[in-house]
Structure 1
Amino acid sequence: MGSSDTLTETLHTVTGIKIPELRRQKQAYEHAKQSLLEKAQNEADSRKRVQLLLDGSEELPGIKDLRSHPLFNIDHLWLFVEQARFDPSISEQVLADYENTVRNQLDAETAKYDFTELYGDLVKEWTSSNNANATESESGFAALGHEDMHQQRAALEEYVFNAKETDTAAINAYLDEIFTNNLSKEVVSAFERLRSQIKDFQTNWDRSSHFEAEVVTRCIKNILDNGVISDSKRSALRGFLENEIVIGEIADAMSIRMAARNSFALDGPTIIEQRRQLNGRCLFYPDEDLLQMIFLQYIGAKWAIELKRALTEFTFADGVLKSASGKLSKQALRRRQFFLGKGPALQRHSVEYQNHNTWRADIFLDQLPDGAGYDWMDDEDKPEYGYEESNLPKNPRNAQQLLHRIQAYLIVRRKLKMDTAVIRSDFKWFGPSLPHSSIFAVLRYFGVQEEWIHLFKKVLEAPITFKHDAPDSAPRVQKRGTPVGTRLTTFFGEAVLFCVDFAVNQKTNGAKLWRMQDDFWLWGDTEVCSKGWDTLTKFSHVMGLEIDEEKTGSCQILAEGSDEQANANANLPSGDLVWGLIKLDTASGEFVVNQAKVDVYIEALDLRLKASNSIFDFVLAWNLYGCRFFLQNRRWVDVSTTRQQTHELLETLRRIQSRVFPLSNGSVELHLKRMIQDRFGVSDIPDGFLYYPPVLGGLGLENPFIYLNLLIHSTAERSEKFLETFFENEEKEYCSRKQIFEELGRSNGSSGQTVDSDVSGDNPEKNQSRRAAGGFPEPIGDWADLQDEPFMSFEEFVQHREVTSSALGMEYASLFAEQYQPEIKIVKELAVGIDYRSQAEARTRWNNYEKWVIQLYAKEMGARFGGLFAIKKGLLPAGLIKMLLESRLTWKN
């Protein structure tokens, strides 16, 4: 039984124990309350009646906390009533208000008992009907996707059990072209060093003591963090971590196995389990021997670290990676140096400089871990290559940041009146489809020796069975694709895909392939993207990979007056450029909601909600599919988002709910209230009970409209004045530099700039005047061809802004500024009402979304329950409910 199943069973049992006690207390309270109200009914004097209710309320069971209640102070009310005993200024109307206050509070306690009982019934329904594997979070919905699951398994088997032999000679020739036969001597030299490093790594392997107890511990923790093993294996590994003797024995066994690695053999077949994910697709998870898993995890991590180190040193060695400054010809660069006194063409903080730094820090080989002592196991929970087929990127958060960058880049380029092309594509079933022959060809080319190739071959050719097959099903040998969920998987995949990263850079003279696993993006000038696409298609052909046409598309955003026919002939992939529920619009150059995809999403959402077996199932399904899934699979609202785009998202949300809840006027809360009334006979349910967090006794239903409305006030209509100040300053800078150049030229007796002792530093006054304008003395050299040239034109001055302008880069950076959200403040009375401690503590407990929800429904909840808590404390296992809700809200993909 899995840990979530155990928690479900425990919650079911504890709730079953507590509900009878809840009903006993409710019955006792209602009996005493009714007796008190009957006594009050027989008292004609209004003051005495209020006094009777006040005194009697303190004796009611379950209402002992009225004296400390922040919204209802019985001590104060008693004093006011005592005043009325002699003071004629206390009118009958005031006494009637006091009486209503007491009666309302008594009724509020009744409401708390009623809704605590309802909450208990909802929990019982949930835990009774939903004991399925919580990892899937699918309940009855799983049955709806069996056909799709069978199709995906059939596709997987078609890949992994059928070898695809690629042409090793053609692969070597391809790699020779970009590495050892590269026209750049720096590339050839750096690649020789790379091979030497890989060789030294293998030579020194046995000089290290690999399996200390701490290393075993870190291996186990890393496997646990990957989330790809079964609950039973997870429990076993956690048991290992709690026993130092076991860890020591494992370390000894691993050391023996490492010494005999040349005769390594798998311990048995790998059992593959197919699990449904939130997007309706499936992942395939391995279940193999734990000691073998630890052994291969260590080897994979060591090789992955070494590969990243070697490839990083190679790529960023001087002269290896082509820069975007390559857009400038040598003569153009000379002219800028002569006229402007500029140093390096690629200026700090320029657009290209920032993109390069982000690419290097966040994109380049990001699947491979960095190594620093034992820190090589401290990963950031990044997804790994696995057997999956999905229409969504593997890492939504990184993809959203990438989309933000593309959108910002397009905004700048459109203002500069420049054409821009964007390509997005993917390799179809990359993990399962990667030919073993291609893996071995690349590894050998990088210098991996045959003893390691022999071991890797055994790992790649593992016998496989499927968990739900008949017990007597014979294992089949994997003949294609990488193993599932191990660090070796990323090692194999990144080794092959690095080759296309580097090839695109070389063939396009400096472009970067923005790749997350096998999902890749390329943008820039149309010609650059065309060459990049040629490179990608050639790579896929040589390596035996297939471009996924469903995920492939491009978009050209043309500047006003561009030659549409010329751009139409560019070699770019066909198809819309889509991601999740959005697509890039050619006309506006902005990401817009992909309404066709939304229609598909609506159908899936409707099926999932209808398959819910309980009210809590429905709430969780809505939170995951109707709220979080939608918000994850459209671009986050950011600084570069217009208010119009945000309104489009809000309108799309309204359309989704109108389609899914047609009988409830498009309202999820009305639909949920009807469900509760039909199943439990409870009506007149306050909205706050649905939306308040469970810690306040609510169901925790999430509202995506609130998430977007929190941000809408921080967005604005796209200002037509964006870059206006930049353009003005740019013209001023041009005029200033031109004036200085011409004045220096006249002082030297010519219209041009002479390179003499003035330039080399013997004339400090003239050098200082150049520096004051932001320029620098040009380097010493032969400038005879430029001596009589007039100062460069303005068009030449601004031609390569993305590379040469730090000022433009700062404007570009402003589009990535941290997004402002208006702080939602909880008023003092509510803050104390939420948390019976101090106001400051209460305020810091809640995020903006929760504060919004709490205050939106505070008046309704206060009137109904006499405060903000909808249920009686201690009568339900709130801690267990919170744990189970959180466990089933975990979104692995």
Structure 2
Amino acid sequence: MASESNFLSQTLQSITTTKMREQNRRSQVFETRKAKVFESVAAASDDRARLNILLSGFNELSTSNKGISYVDQDRKDTAQNTTRYLEQSYSDPSVSATIIQSFERNLEKKLGQESQRFDFANLYYRLLGEWTDANSKPMEQSEQKEEELDGSFEHVQKYDLQRLKDKFASVVFTPLHTEEVEIDNYLGALFEGDHAEGLLEGIRQANVTFAKTFREQVAPFDRFMLQQCIKALLSNTLLNDEAKSTLSEFTTNEDVLNEISDVLNLRFADLENWSWQADEGMYYEPRRQLNGKYRIMMDMDILQALFLHYIAISWCGHLKSVFVELPKDKKFWSQPKGMTQEEKGRHYFFTGERPSSVNGMILEQRRTFLETLFLSALPSSLAEGGDPYGEDKDDTDDETQTGLGMRQMFLRQLATDVLIRRSLYGEVAVVQSDLQWYATGLPHSTLFAVLRFWGIPEVFITFFKKYAEAPLRMTATPGENVQTRRRGIPITDAFETLFGETVLFCMDVAVNRNSFMTLIRFHDDLYLHGEPSQTASAWQTIEEFVKVFGLDINTSKTGSVYLTDTEKDTELAAKFPSGPVGMGMLQLSDEGNWIIDQKQVTAHVRQLQKQLGQCTSVISWIQTWNACMGRFFQDTFGKPANCFGQAHINAIVETHANMQRTLFEAHAGSVTNYLREQIAERFAEKDIPDSFFFLPEEFGGLGMKNPFITFFVFKDQVMKKPLDRIAEFHKDEKRAYKDAADAFTALTDSEKQRRLRKGLGESSKHESVLDEPFFSLEEFTSHRERYSPHLLRAVNDLMQKPSVRDVHLAKDVAPWFQELSCSHGKGWYDLSSEDKWVMQLYAEELKQRFGALSIVDKNLLPSGIMKMLKKRKITWQLIIWE
């Protein structure tokens, strides 16, 4: 297919062709000489003569990985030893014909293994050739016409895309007027009182100061700053592929970067007169995202994109730094109340220990909120970019660095909190919601009312207004039906992050001030969880907020779960929105269990089957497989953790087994059986070992991911039943209570007097405490969320992700990995846990078939193409438009 071919640069094509020719040359020479050797062997008169001919051929024949010292030395040692034993056999009858024949079979086997290595190296290049061939045929020829497709995930037709464009136009060109005075009054009510008013005034003054300092910059654009902006723009989906290609070429051209800096500095100096300079209108078109969704995206001029990105991200970093002062302020930002001084004194009197919030789960959750979840879509600097969706970010082990990682972290926190609260209080509620077409439909009047409330100077509001009111057209013809945008802002642009987060931070404040809860928010994805009546109050705050601010709740992504060990309060239950709660395909059931939504799985598997069938090469098929089965489903099923228990992993494994049975029903549910059949049909190669599919690309395999291995490397490292850990916590708590009671009973009267004075002071009003029995378990455990180290340990244990347990390196295959380290620069300890699993599993097969743990010589591997293969993003072909 053409897109695959264009993916490779001419340089890489040339290098790959050169390596392929060298591989073919070596293969032809080897097989020609080998055939002659075997002809001579067949004509030999006896065993010793045959072995002598084989030895001569073995020494002369070039190997597929010739030049690797470890391999060359091993061949040399084998030949020398065999030569000496053969020489001994002429004089020593004890070196029997059986031994001579075993040497003969061993050399024949080694030569056969070399043939296998050459054959599969050739197949590897043929597969690459198919991948870059624009005329390759799809893996499956569908008998269903495109216009006959139906189902909620298959809106591919032009009709549906036109509906999307019509809906978009009806929203963005029709203003929605909200009352600025009402919004200002609503927000002002959140800052009543001298302390709150002082905080608000501090934010406003900081914004005025920043605006002045920012505007007074003489030449903010330089080469280094531009490179950061370019990196951010290349990582999100704002620009189309052509613009990205052009932009990527700028990064290493200092002359171009200097010229761009000069132009943008001139533009910045005349900021008050900035305009879009697009009288012919900027084209808006449906553009497919990696998750398969279509979004209406704007084709933005590259220089404008760089200029605007810098301004937006600069404001993002500043506003995040001032907004964070509100949740940090304990007088302003509501949080669960701690003990009074008298309660702390009583606790010390009875236990001899002072309660410390450092030991509690509340402080841990607060730290996570402030350091990771708070305004998570708002970048702190240019280096962080500006994509609120985070769909194109590379993998990283640090969950705090990606939107997906933060969601997984919060999912564990949510699951743990549900377990803890239900165990402690017998009830808990969770609400999930989303805003309908938030960025696209954000009323401009709301946006500017909020910016003015936060004290953004009018000079920048004027600039922001010009940005928001962009001249747009919905057709490809320049100048045709150009209209001024009256609502919303471009999505995936840094200004979406700036404006969107600035408005929704108001929601964060409203929920906390009015309902005394902390709203967890990933851009416009909203989560509430906690005590049911408080959660219901917070949800009512959100409903009121969206009405005042002219926003809409997306009812299709809104739902709640109200769990209680007693009879539900029907009046309270009626306040919660209906619908499921979950993340990805993992949902919280009405019974409090986390289950995989099999209905979603079925729909995605059906679509994946179509998408795999449309692949025009084995390699592109494996790319799609790895992206979907090796990454997408793993993420959407929820990352395993102790809070989900062993049942979660079992459900994932079972779901994967069911998916493969569905995908490969005609091949006994086996992906390898299916690919063997495809390779046999397309390349007339039938005897393909399993190892060739799963072996990492750097060793000459196809690098196909086995989704089961991902979970089996830590399957037995997860808690079997999370509730057992909570039961253990209760035992620890009661044991601590009993120990404290026993210690208190053993105190003398004078020791109690000293505790009383130290805990509650010298006042005589507390003397009656001396006559009280040891305080109740209820009082001992009050405020445990804030102060209990036992509860904190339980929470941390439940939040824990499983550690990997590597398969052991068997002694009989250890030398083979030493050879692999010499031939390919990677040994056992350099491999990932999953690769160790694969290599150990197929080690014997590889050694028997290829005489080594690799298939293709490292020097002949097309490493440049392999790196590009790994970087290339796969787009889901299922379509949901928004």
In structure 2, stretches of 5+ residues that fail to align are: 138-145, 393-400, 878-882
What are the equivalent positions in structure 2 for 1:143-158 lying under 5 Å apart?
A: 145-147=156-158, 149-158=161-170
Aligned residue type for 1:842: G
Match of 1:607 in 2: 610
How far apart are the structure 2 equivalents of 1:720 and 1:314? 36
- Percent identity among equivalent residues? 29
Q: Please state if 1:294 is matched with 2:306.
A: yes
Q: Please state if 1:160 is matched with 2:172.
A: yes
Q: Could you tell me how far 1:499 is from its partner in structure 2?
A: 0.9
**In 2, are the aligned partners of 1:276 and 1:282 still within 8 Å (CA)?**
yes
**In 1, are the aligned partners of 2:418 and 2:428 still within 8 Å (CA)?**
yes
Match of 2:396 in 1: none
Q: Could you tell me how far 1:167 is from its partner in structure 2?
A: 2.2
Q: Could you tell me how far 1:721 is from its partner in structure 2?
A: 4.3
Match of 1:833 in 2: 819
**In 2, are the aligned partners of 1:582 and 1:593 still within 8 Å (CA)?**
yes
Q: Please state if 1:440 is matched with 2:425.
A: no
Pairing partner for 1:581 from 582, 585, 596:
585
Deviations 1:773-822 (A, max 9, x none): xxx62367795697676654222322332123232112211223453211
In structure 1, stretches of 5+ residues that fail to align are: 133-139, 371-375, 388-392, 749-764
3-state SS of the aligned residue for 2:331?
Answer: coil
Distance 1:252 1:67, change over 3 A: closer
How far apart are the structure 1 equivalents of 2:745 and 2:574? 43
Pairing partner for 2:100 from 87, 95, 98:
95
How far apart are the structure 1 equivalents of 2:154 and 2:129? 23
Pairing partner for 1:199 from 198, 201, 208:
208
Q: Please state if 1:534 is matched with 2:540.
A: yes
How far apart are the structure 1 equivalents of 2:96 and 2:290? 63
Q: Could you tell me how far 1:222 is from its partner in structure 2?
A: 3.5
Aligned residue type for 1:497: L
**In 1, are the aligned partners of 2:4 and 2:131 still within 8 Å (CA)?**
no
Q: Please state if 1:478 is matched with 2:475.
A: no
Runs of 4 or more above 6 Å deviation:
1-4, 140-144, 328-335, 337-344, 739-744, 890-893
Q: Could you tell me how far 1:241 is from its partner in structure 2?
A: 4.1
How far apart are the structure 2 equivalents of 1:566 and 1:338? 43
Aligned residue type for 2:783: H
Aligned residue type for 2:220: F
Pairing partner for 1:563 from 564, 567, 576:
567
Aligned residue type for 1:296: L
3-state SS of the aligned residue for 2:521?
Answer: strand
3-state SS of the aligned residue for 1:348?
Answer: helix
**In 2, are the aligned partners of 1:11 and 1:127 still within 8 Å (CA)?**
no
Q: Please state if 1:177 is matched with 2:183.
A: no
3-state SS of the aligned residue for 1:323?
Answer: coil
Distance 1:254 1:453, change over 3 A: same
Deviations 1:543-574 (A, max 9, x none): 11111122111112323xx2224586352111
Deviates more, 1:683-692 or 1:60-69: 60-69
What are the equivalent positions in structure 2 for 1:739-758 lying under 5 Å apart?
A: 747=749
How far apart are the structure 2 equivalents of 1:11 and 1:339? 76
TM-score normalised over the length of structure 1: 0.86
3-state SS of the aligned residue for 1:84?
Answer: helix
Q: Could you tell me how far 1:460 is from its partner in structure 2?
A: 0.7
3-state SS of the aligned residue for 2:384?
Answer: coil
3-state SS of the aligned residue for 2:8?
Answer: helix
Q: Could you tell me how far 1:527 is from its partner in structure 2?
A: 1.1
**In 2, are the aligned partners of 1:71 and 1:833 still within 8 Å (CA)?**
no
**In 2, are the aligned partners of 1:576 and 1:583 still within 8 Å (CA)?**
yes
Match of 1:137 in 2: none
What are the equivalent positions in structure 2 for 1:2-41 lying under 5 Å apart?
A: 5-7=6-8, 11=12, 15=16, 19=20, 22-41=23-42
What are the equivalent positions in structure 2 for 1:624-635 lying under 5 Å apart?
A: 624-635=627-638
Match of 1:505 in 2: 512
Deviations 1:378-430 (A, max 9, x none): 2177545999xxxxx99322211111111222233344353111111111222
Q: Could you tell me how far 1:353 is from its partner in structure 2?
A: 1.5
Deviates more, 1:167-176 or 1:594-603: 167-176
Deviates more, 1:217-226 or 1:169-178: 217-226
Q: Please state if 1:572 is matched with 2:576.
A: yes
Aligned residue type for 2:866: K
**In 2, are the aligned partners of 1:129 and 1:614 still within 8 Å (CA)?**
no
TM-score normalised over the length of structure 2: 0.87
Aligned residue type for 1:869: S
Pairing partner for 2:416 from 394, 408, 412:
408
Q: Could you tell me how far 1:251 is from its partner in structure 2?
A: 3.5
3-state SS of the aligned residue for 2:27?
Answer: helix
Match of 1:756 in 2: none
Match of 2:116 in 1: 111
**In 2, are the aligned partners of 1:186 and 1:318 still within 8 Å (CA)?**
no
How far apart are the structure 1 equivalents of 2:277 and 2:4? 27
Aligned residue type for 1:478: R
**In 2, are the aligned partners of 1:70 and 1:832 still within 8 Å (CA)?**
no
Q: How many residues align?
A: 843
**In 1, are the aligned partners of 2:472 and 2:485 still within 8 Å (CA)?**
yes
How far apart are the structure 2 equivalents of 1:130 and 1:474? 39
Deviations 1:209-244 (A, max 9, x none): 451524444434433344532444344444544444
**In 2, are the aligned partners of 1:385 and 1:484 still within 8 Å (CA)?**
no
Match of 2:870 in 1: 886
Deviates more, 1:611-620 or 1:296-305: 296-305
Pairing partner for 1:281 from 268, 293, 297:
293
How far apart are the structure 1 equivalents of 2:74 and 2:388? 49
How far apart are the structure 2 equivalents of 1:331 and 1:656? 60
**In 2, are the aligned partners of 1:692 and 1:854 still within 8 Å (CA)?**
yes
**In 1, are the aligned partners of 2:439 and 2:500 still within 8 Å (CA)?**
yes
**In 1, are the aligned partners of 2:309 and 2:495 still within 8 Å (CA)?**
yes
3-state SS of the aligned residue for 2:595?
Answer: strand
Q: Could you tell me how far 1:630 is from its partner in structure 2?
A: 0.8
Match of 2:397 in 1: none
Q: Could you tell me how far 1:6 is from its partner in structure 2?
A: 5.0
3-state SS of the aligned residue for 2:717?
Answer: coil
What are the equivalent positions in structure 2 for 1:324-473 lying under 5 Å apart?
A: 324-325=336-337, 347-370=357-380, 376-379=381-384, 383-384=388-389, 395-416=403-424, 418-465=426-473, 469-471=476-478, 473=480
Q: Please state if 1:550 is matched with 2:550.
A: no
Q: Could you tell me how far 1:264 is from its partner in structure 2?
A: 1.6
**In 1, are the aligned partners of 2:344 and 2:354 still within 8 Å (CA)?**
no
Q: Could you tell me how far 1:846 is from its partner in structure 2?
A: 1.6
Match of 2:494 in 1: 487
How far apart are the structure 1 equivalents of 2:639 and 2:633? 10
Match of 2:760 in 1: 778
**In 1, are the aligned partners of 2:440 and 2:488 still within 8 Å (CA)?**
yes
Match of 1:188 in 2: 197
How far apart are the structure 1 equivalents of 2:161 and 2:494? 26
**In 1, are the aligned partners of 2:817 and 2:827 still within 8 Å (CA)?**
yes
3-state SS of the aligned residue for 2:329?
Answer: coil
3-state SS of the aligned residue for 1:554?
Answer: strand
**In 2, are the aligned partners of 1:271 and 1:464 still within 8 Å (CA)?**
yes
Q: Could you tell me how far 1:671 is from its partner in structure 2?
A: 0.6
How far apart are the structure 2 equivalents of 1:558 and 1:639? 22
Deviates more, 1:866-875 or 1:192-201: 866-875
Distance 1:312 1:719, change over 3 A: closer
How far apart are the structure 2 equivalents of 1:871 and 1:838? 10
Q: Could you tell me how far 1:126 is from its partner in structure 2?
A: 0.9
Q: Please state if 1:74 is matched with 2:79.
A: yes
3-state SS of the aligned residue for 1:836?
Answer: helix
Deviates more, 1:416-425 or 1:468-477: 468-477
Distance 1:341 1:207, change over 3 A: farther
Q: Please state if 1:871 is matched with 2:874.
A: no
Q: Please state if 1:129 is matched with 2:134.
A: yes
Match of 1:314 in 2: 326
Aligned residue type for 1:49: R
How far apart are the structure 2 equivalents of 1:79 and 1:717? 60
Deviates more, 1:879-888 or 1:611-620: 879-888
Q: Could you tell me how far 1:52 is from its partner in structure 2?
A: 1.1
How far apart are the structure 2 equivalents of 1:62 and 1:352? 65
**In 2, are the aligned partners of 1:385 and 1:493 still within 8 Å (CA)?**
no
**In 1, are the aligned partners of 2:283 and 2:476 still within 8 Å (CA)?**
no
RMSD: 3.5
